[in-house]
């Protein structure tokens, strides 16, 4: 394959590509040969002319190029792109037994930088978050239909990342028919309604599937150990995925979210699973304030979930986010009964695993309690991490038990 344009790197800036890291920032580029268009495939070369990678060019972004391949013999065409889609879908085929809500393509991890494709039953939802995949939009949509047999694809490419790529937001039907107002999905023994138009991300937090199942098992374990139904608290509950999971062992689940609309759907999901109305309590409130009020009221819980939204949009917000994470974890630990479990999460990519653990450890110290770290938590298997691209690990969590 021969590209019409080339990126020539500054001396020493080839090291990351030699380690097969897929991103190139503008500060690494010495000069551009030719006039590549947005999303065009270009050759990347070291300052002395050595070929390094095939990449998609993004002239409007500081992340100037995302690498497709580190094999010079590859030809980045429709066949190559379709093969990546089919491989990604096939890798996840075994997960369909657990759920019909799956992430089928996860960007860089699947060799398609910037492309997200999620499946909800027979509906696909996509996000084109980078110039390269946007340039090959129709080819990739065709490949997704062919690989899945799903005729209906809805486009949720309306995130802030599109602006950074110099791309306008897109929202609407990409293939087939309009999605229904709600789509029913299954996840292990549980069911849920998903709104792919207005829901967070592509409609649902697929990445927490395994952690919801863990919460269900912990609730049952705690009930057996205590000899009674447990009390559970789900903070930032969104549409109640963790709430329904906790009901496996809880006599009472208090779910808190600032969105009345999310809480309304959470109630419906509770009913959808045939759970007793008295077992679910719903509170529309600021979680930070609600946690402090619960402590003032003398409440205690056997199992607490903290799954907040992204507190750090970039590395510029890390200090502020660290304070917020410590605040909610400190409050939760003070509400956690001895022997109780805390599942606490961060989806901020700028907050690394080690930093998150350090923040939570600080909350343990300041709460004046003793706690064990039982397990580190992450996204499910359909959100794999390419070992040469650690930035892909955005969701991290800790399972603690108070002594």
CA separation for the pair 17, 7 (Å, rounded): 13
* pLDDT higher than 90, residue 396: yes
State residue 316's pLDDT score.
Answer: 78
State residue 176's pLDDT score.
Answer: 98
pLDDT band at 154 (very low <50, low <70, confident <90, very high): very high
Name all domains of the chain by residue range, CATH numbers in brackets: 6-69 (2.30.130.10), 78-180 (3.30.750.80), 206-402 (3.40.50.150)
Cβ(24)–Cβ(393) below 8 Å: no
How many beta carbons lie within 10 A of that of residue 131, not counting itself? 27
pLDDT band at 394 (very low <50, low <70, confident <90, very high): very high
CA separation for the pair 251, 270 (Å, rounded): 13
State residue 138's pLDDT score.
Answer: 98
Angle at which helices 287-296 and 318-335 pack, to 10 degrees? 30
How many beta carbons lie within 10 A of that of residue 241, not counting itself? 25
The DSSP result for 149-178, as a single string, is ---EEEEEE-SHHHHHTT---EEEEEESSP
* pLDDT higher than 80, residue 313: no
State residue 114's pLDDT score.
Answer: 97
**Strands 115-120 and 123-128, how do they pair?**
antiparallel
* pLDDT higher than 80, residue 248: yes
* pLDDT higher than 90, residue 314: no
Q: pLDDT per residue over 176-210, tens digit each?
A: 999 999 999 999 999 999 999 999 999 999 999 99
* pLDDT higher than 90, residue 301: yes
* C-alpha closest to that of 69 among 82, 56, 86, 50: 56
State residue 2's pLDDT score.
Answer: 76
Report residue 289 as tokens: 């304030």
State residue 297's pLDDT score.
Answer: 97
Annotated active-site positions, please?
Answer: 347
pLDDT band at 236 (very low <50, low <70, confident <90, very high): very high
CA separation for the pair 147, 86 (Å, rounded): 5
Across residues 43-72, what is the average pLDDT? 97
* pLDDT higher than 80, residue 1: no
State residue 159's pLDDT score.
Answer: 82
CA separation for the pair 203, 114 (Å, rounded): 18
pLDDT band at 161 (very low <50, low <70, confident <90, very high): confident
Residues 114, 116, 120: CA angle, nearest 5 degrees: 175
* pLDDT higher than 80, residue 3: no
What is the radius of gyration, based on Cα positions, of the chain?
23
Give the burial class of 90: count Cβ atoms within 10 A of its Cβ; 0-12 exposed, 13-18 middle, 19 or more buried.
Answer: exposed
CA separation for the pair 49, 357 (Å, rounded): 43
Q: pLDDT per residue over 342-361, tens digit each?
A: 999 999 888 999 999 999 99
pLDDT band at 367 (very low <50, low <70, confident <90, very high): very high
Its pTM stands at: 0.96
Report residue 237 as tokens: 């509950």
> pLDDT averaged over the chain?
96
pLDDT band at 312 (very low <50, low <70, confident <90, very high): confident
**Residues with Cβ within 8 Å of residue 298, at least 6 apart in sequence:** none
State residue 203's pLDDT score.
Answer: 95
The stretches of 154-259 forming alpha helices (DSSP H) are 160-164, 209-226, 241-246
Cβ(373)–Cβ(403) below 8 Å: no
CA separation for the pair 66, 20 (Å, rounded): 11
| Distance, CA of 385 to chain centre | 12
b or e along 305-318 (b: 16 or more beta carbons within 10 Å of the residue's beta carbon)? bbbbeebbeeeebb
Q: pLDDT per residue over 116-151, tens digit each?
A: 999 999 999 999 999 999 999 999 999 999 999 999
* pLDDT higher than 80, residue 110: yes
* pLDDT higher than 80, residue 52: yes
């Amino acid at each position: 394959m021969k590209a019409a344009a080339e990126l020539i790197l500054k001396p020493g800036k080839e090291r990351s590509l030699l380690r097969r890291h897929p991103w190139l920032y503008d500060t690494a580029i010495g000069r551009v040969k030719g006039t590549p268009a947005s999303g065009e495939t270009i050759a990347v070369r070291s300052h002395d002319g050595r070929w390094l990678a095939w990449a998609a060019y993004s002239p409007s972004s500081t992340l100037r190029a995302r690498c497709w391949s580190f094999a010079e013999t590859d030809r980045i065409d429709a066949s190559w792109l379709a093969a990546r889609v089919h491989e990604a879908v096939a890798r996840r085929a075994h997960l369909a037994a657990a759920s019909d809500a799956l992430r089928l393509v996860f960007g860089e991890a699947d060799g398609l930088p910037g492309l997200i494709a999620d499946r909800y039953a027979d509906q696909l939802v996509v996000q084109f978050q980078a110039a390269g995949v946007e340039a090959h939009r129709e080819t990739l949509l065709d490949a997704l239909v062919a690989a899945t047999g799903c005729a209906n694809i809805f486009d949720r490419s309306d995130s802030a990342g599109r602006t950074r790529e110099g791309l306008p937001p897109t929202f609407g039907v990409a293939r087939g028919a309009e999605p229904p107002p709600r789509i029913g999905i299954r996840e292990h023994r549980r069911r849920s309604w998903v709104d792919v138009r207005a829901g967070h991300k592509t409609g649902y937090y697929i990445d927490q599937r395994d952690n919801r199942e863990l919460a269900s098992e912990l609730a049952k374990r705690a009930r057996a150990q205590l000899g009674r139904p447990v009390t559970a608290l789900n903070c930032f509950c969104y549409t109640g995925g963790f709430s329904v999971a906790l009901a496996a062992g809880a006599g009472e689940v208090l779910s808190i979210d600032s969105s009345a609309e999310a809480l309304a759907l959470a109630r419906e999901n509770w009913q959808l699973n045939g759970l007793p109305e008295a077992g679910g309590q719903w509170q529309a409130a600021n979680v930070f304030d609600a946690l402090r009020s619960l402590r003032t009221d003398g409440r205690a819980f056997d199992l607490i979930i903290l799954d907040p939204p992204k507190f750090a949009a970039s590395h510029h917000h890390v200090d502020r986010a660290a304070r917020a994470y410590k605040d909610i974890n400190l409050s939760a630990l003070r509400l956690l009964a001895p022997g109780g479990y805390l599942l606490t999460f961060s989806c901020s990519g700028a907050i690394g695993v080690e930093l998150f653990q350090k923040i939570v450890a600080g909350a343990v110290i300041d709460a004046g309690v003793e706690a064990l770290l039982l397990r580190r938590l992450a996204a499910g298997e359909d959100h794999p991490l390419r070992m040469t691209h650690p930035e892909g690990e955005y969701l991290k969590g800790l399972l603690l038990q108070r002594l």
